[in-house]
Structure 1
């Protein structure tokens, strides 16, 4: 073990999903080393314990893993399990931590952000329950980075392409198959026999892995275990630059999949996953299921899958996610919790057994089987629902809206906005919150407006200033918040939601139905004028 002197960096505060920066910043001397050492200094139980390690295969993943292994060995970690080739999806990492009772895991990913030498890189620490570290832990890691003066390292490296055991000093390193355990878990949760029969006789399917980490998992589950025609599998080879694409499953970046699903000869079912395998989208022939609607449909139909046949204890959604799930939960007479954005806020509820299903508008949905969002799980849940109901995706959605009403919903991202301008928009809205209730804009009357504060019902912790909400008497609303997942400038997100009752019009054009809410949001916040843009950079 060698101690290397270093000096702190002032920009290592983790965001919603860990520390994310451009690759070039992570390649700066001691930048990664400082942050990793801060993790070991903050989590002393790692000394003598088991650590799970892997990433989404993006550029710099393999180099970073060797660095982390050397620092782990020098800090007394007894054993590290690392995915073959350095590959490990985020939900699979969560499962491995739980299955092998590890102290925690280090996941290398910038999720749906672009990759390559000029792209993004990220690192986050997951705790012993398999979920992302709490704010208290990430804050402690950040405080340590501000005063760090040395890091510890050892000599040695591991051949990540060879499955088996080796060592760095006294630390055992096990390179394992990153796919098998997670695929086995999926097979225990869902009725693979029935799904396989439906695919063989009655359902055509395509899946786009977007040249990201889910490719090997999807191939094992869909092709090897469920009999999907390999021709239906798109971009399944993980690449360090994701094939030059942007692995964010939405109508903008998954254009090939959308074109295929809206063609005259479209398959019955389509899906895609993101960079690290935690996000997803689902499509039927000629229809896209919004992530908020998907969470609501899954909540209403989870009992159709074997693992959830006895019902669910409750459900949770992130605050910006549409309130479609709230309506379902009320009808089912189960609790529905509204949490801040960030998967870590679901952890306490899951561990306490208060919820079974959880999700967020940014295409993440999961259950109590792990403590991360799980794109493959969500796709398989849809397949299980289709198997039992024997309806098309479109018919399932129409039936759902006929029972619960439809929440027209869209997210408008203003990316790489100058930080002062983004904060000015937020301040403009925040300063008006107290005076907005009772005001009328067109046909809409504001019923309430606030800055969202979350009181954790399990540990009593409080998270303030988690986004600004403006609610209307009609059940519609808009939400505004600054995102913590970007690496350049600020990302300002505007969430639009218009509620149509169960006996209303459910086939209106999405943009037209949301236009009045968008106009009210712009009038109140002065958004477009402040950021000096005619519209968002991304609509999803």
Structure 2
């Protein structure tokens, strides 16, 4: 059998290959054993899923294993956004949650994400223990199940509706009256769990909106359920063609990522949204604290932090590290270039629903488009342009990669290397303020190349130099 391996957001696999019922039972038992060993099992666990194939069946099997181990299960009554499950962990004070989701991965994937009692994604020491326990049990009949009807009779299973409490809480953090003044927005839950979460607050306030892809489709329309520009061309076309639409708001399959379309149909990179919201939260909403970004995320955030005199935290890739800072109340906002963010006083987990409505509030209260706000921000702190490419490696290049990045050049792209950051991958800070990050995939022969510069021409030069460094051309 393939080993169970937890990545940055849990264990993921391809349905009917390694993501099968038997492995789901084993991983669930490993989580149960971890909680029993830590003395947390008496608090119960939330179990939910996104809108993928077989989600409810996997939830049922997992719940029966937990009940068999004597752990109470709070069973979500429908596919549920990842940030909503995080909110419910904190609200109910459970030992955590098991969430069947593969987030933005293609439709053939599913996954198990374990979130502990603090509500954020499990840290490496936690997933490492669960991973070890699961792999020791592979191939063995290591669990017992209690049928859900019996578990309900015994008080070990309770069905819950997570939506009302989450939306009530969201209304304390978003100025929906301002959002309603926009007049017209477009919504795209991408066939995922944000159905009923993006639209209900607007319907409640009688706001006009257009919505597409708002039914459940495990194929996600034939695309990976990620609100990246290439995947939402139908949505971009809708916004571009309808002058009444002021803003387009999209989420991914489990609603922890966001996609923003400006009123003219321009896709706005997540990097820029995080920086704009930081400026807005400090300047308009008077929030205090620091800001966190992953090592792969734009230094435009650094520039905004300097402008407002607030502390910046740089983290490895993986929202769990940012989530820790949110749970410790150290930051106003934390985000990643992969379209995940959360804010002070909210869940320590990416929340695409929150992100969408924060942008809508910002645009409404400022009375300007996202592009106009970005140009104003550039005028205050300087221009920052970012890009990410994937470089596929031959077996020879993959074998040579580790040695290559271990001896970085003193100069690249016509500029001296000022600093080297190695908290996750190898990041070269150049003397002109541009930078490159080389980060090897843990699952495939691919190097993720990130770059940033102050102009398109300079960014092209930097990215070309990065490719040449890896490929040896």
TM-score w.r.t. length of structure 1? 0.81
Q: Any conservation in 1 of the 2:26–2:143 contact (CA below 8 Å)?
A: no
The 5 Å alignment of 1:151-190 reads 151-157=142-148, 167-168=151-152, 170-190=154-174
CA distance in 2, matches of 1:91, 1:440: 41
Equivalent of 1:470 in 428, 432, 446? 428
RMSD of the TM alignment (CA)? 2.2
Pairing 1:441–2:436 present: no
CA distance in 2, matches of 1:104, 1:74: 18
Q: Any conservation in 1 of the 2:25–2:61 contact (CA below 8 Å)?
A: yes
The 5 Å alignment of 1:380-419 reads 380-414=357-391, 417=392
Compared with structure 1, are the counterparts of its residues 168 and 296 closer, same or farther at alpha carbon in structure 2 (3 Å cutoff)?
A: same
Give the match for residue 29 of structure 2.
37
Pairing 1:354–2:335 present: no
Match of 2:143, SS state, is strand
Compared with structure 1, are the counterparts of its residues 266 and 406 closer, same or farther at alpha carbon in structure 2 (3 Å cutoff)?
A: farther
Q: Any conservation in 2 of the 1:26–1:32 contact (CA below 8 Å)?
A: no
- Which segment drifts farther, 261-270 or 142-151? 261-270
CA distance in 1, matches of 2:281, 2:397: 39
Equivalent of 1:525 in 457, 460, 470? 470
Give the match for residue 227 of structure 1.
206
Give the match for residue 23 of structure 1.
15
CA distance in 2, matches of 1:352, 1:400: 29
Pairing 1:246–2:224 present: yes
Match of 2:197, SS state, is helix
Give the match for residue 216 of structure 1.
196
Runs of 4+ aligned structure 1 residues displaced above 4 Å come to 417-422
CA distance in 2, matches of 1:361, 1:125: 23
Structure 1 residue runs without a partner (length 5+): 1-8, 159-165, 454-465, 501-509, 530-540
CA distance in 2, matches of 1:421, 1:378: 42
Compared with structure 1, are the counterparts of its residues 27 and 126 closer, same or farther at alpha carbon in structure 2 (3 Å cutoff)?
A: closer
Q: 1:27, CA displacement in angstroms?
A: 5.0
Match of 2:350, SS state, is coil
Compared with structure 1, are the counterparts of its residues 418 and 480 closer, same or farther at alpha carbon in structure 2 (3 Å cutoff)?
A: closer
Compared with structure 1, are the counterparts of its residues 29 and 84 closer, same or farther at alpha carbon in structure 2 (3 Å cutoff)?
A: closer
Pairing 1:496–2:451 present: yes
- Report Cα offsets for 1:491-537 as digits up to 9, x if no partner: 4311121135xxxxxxxxx5x5521111110221117x7xxxxxxxx
Q: 1:19, CA displacement in angstroms?
A: 0.3
Equivalent of 1:273 in 251, 255, 267? 251
Q: 1:243, CA displacement in angstroms?
A: 3.3
Equivalent of 1:126 in 112, 115, 119? 115
Give the match for residue 125 of structure 2.
136
Q: 1:82, CA displacement in angstroms?
A: 2.0
- Which segment drifts farther, 331-340 or 44-53? 44-53
Compared with structure 1, are the counterparts of its residues 301 and 27 closer, same or farther at alpha carbon in structure 2 (3 Å cutoff)?
A: closer
Q: 1:261, CA displacement in angstroms?
A: 3.2
- Report Cα offsets for 1:290-327 as digits up to 9, x if no partner: 1111111100001477xxx3422111001000111111
The 5 Å alignment of 1:89-100 reads 89-100=81-92
CA distance in 1, matches of 2:94, 2:308: 36
Give the match for residue 348 of structure 2.
371
Give the match for residue 5 of structure 1.
none
Q: 1:419, CA displacement in angstroms?
A: 8.4
Give the match for residue 255 of structure 1.
233
Q: Any conservation in 2 of the 1:474–1:499 contact (CA below 8 Å)?
A: no
Match of 2:156, SS state, is strand
CA distance in 2, matches of 1:473, 1:102: 49
Compared with structure 1, are the counterparts of its residues 392 and 497 closer, same or farther at alpha carbon in structure 2 (3 Å cutoff)?
A: same
Q: 1:105, CA displacement in angstroms?
A: 0.5
Q: 1:473, CA displacement in angstroms?
A: 1.0
Equivalent of 1:291 in 265, 270, 294? 270
- Which segment drifts farther, 325-334 or 349-358? 349-358
- Report Cα offsets for 1:100-159 as digits up to 9, x if no partner: 1111001111100122xxx0011011011111111001111111123224432324236x
TM-score w.r.t. length of structure 2? 0.92
Match of 2:77, SS state, is strand
Q: 1:10, CA displacement in angstroms?
A: 4.6
Q: 1:353, CA displacement in angstroms?
A: 1.9
Q: Any conservation in 2 of the 1:422–1:492 contact (CA below 8 Å)?
A: no
CA distance in 2, matches of 1:302, 1:421: 48
Give the match for residue 145 of structure 1.
134
CA distance in 1, matches of 2:298, 2:146: 51
Match of 1:228, SS state, is coil
Equivalent of 1:52 in 43, 46, 49? 46
- Report Cα offsets for 1:447-506 as digits up to 9, x if no partner: 2234x12xxxxxxxxxxxx2111121111111111345x6xx344311121135xxxxxx
